[in-house]
Amino acid sequence: MKTARWSMLAFALLLLVPEARPEDDDDADVPHVTVYGTATIQVPPNQMIWALNVRNVDPNSAGAAQAHGATVATLMAFLKQNRIAEETIQTSRMQLGENFKFTRGERVAEGYAASTDVQFTLTDFANYATLWIGLSAIPGVQIRNVSMDHSERIKYQNEARTKAVLAARDKAKAIAETLGMQTGLPLAIEEDLAAVEAYRVVSTNIAANVASMAGLPGEVDPSVALGTIPIMARVKAVFSMSKKQ
């Protein structure tokens, strides 16, 4: 009877032991180093991305819609008159609804509001002041943001990514040599896209660019300091390590 009980207990314990996975053991046994590589390229911008908002308020919805349509039409005609490429103009977030305002701490409905976001790209920087003044003169139009960019961002992004990989390789090599080892083949490489996008959003909206404007093609409005925009790439890399031969 005791023998049977011991056999059942041994069988139960065997079921609790996790199954061996050779591939996991192989990965765990490989000495490796994990590093991040970052590279940034500074380039002079050749595009201005303008973000506008058109908003009209009226006591009734039909009046708000009609006034809004007229304002948007005026805006489009102004952009066309100033030679803004039609393919760069984009409208979004069209809305029509009750207009609310705060009175004595309370949110009170007052008429109706119609709004549309408009974005366009300017490549002739000499036209900056004309656009700024002209847009500000159209009732209901607000300039939300003007940011810098480059039409060949992908090209520079690829260049920065290559430099980031090389930076990761060199960093891993330096770490390995400090430990008296050497790096081997990469086990994994991945791009940190979240970090790149966050960096891009912040950098393209910096108000002051301090780099020199010397050598930029074409004319630039004297009220604009273009400077340069940083294009960054960041990668995470894992390299195998072994004892030096």
Whether residue 5 is predicted with pLDDT greater than 90 in this model: the reply is no
Q: Is the model's pLDDT at 21 over the cut of 50? A: no
Return the pLDDT at 195.
73
Cα angle 74-80-81, degrees, rounded to a multiple of 5: 85
Enumerate the H helices of 137-179 as residue ranges.
Answer: 153-178
Q: Which single residue is written with the structure tokens 């390789």?
A: 169
Alpha helices in the chain (DSSP H): 2-16, 22-29, 61-81, 128-136, 153-178, 193-204
Distances 126 to 63, 78, 129, 132, 176 between C-alpha atoms, Å: 37, 16, 8, 11, 53
Query: What are 42-74's pLDDT values in tens digits?
Result: 999 999 999 999 999 999 999 999 999 999 999
Output DSSP code: residue 140: T
Q: pTM for the complete prediction?
A: 0.67
pLDDT score at 13: 40
User: Domains in the chain and their CATH numbers?
Assistant: 28-45+152-243 (3.30.110.170), 47-149 (3.30.70.2970)
Mapped onto helix, strand or coil, the DSSP state of residue 228 is coil
Confidence of residue 101 (pLDDT cuts 50, 70, 90): confident
Cα–Cα nearest to 73, from 50, 62, 89, 61: 89
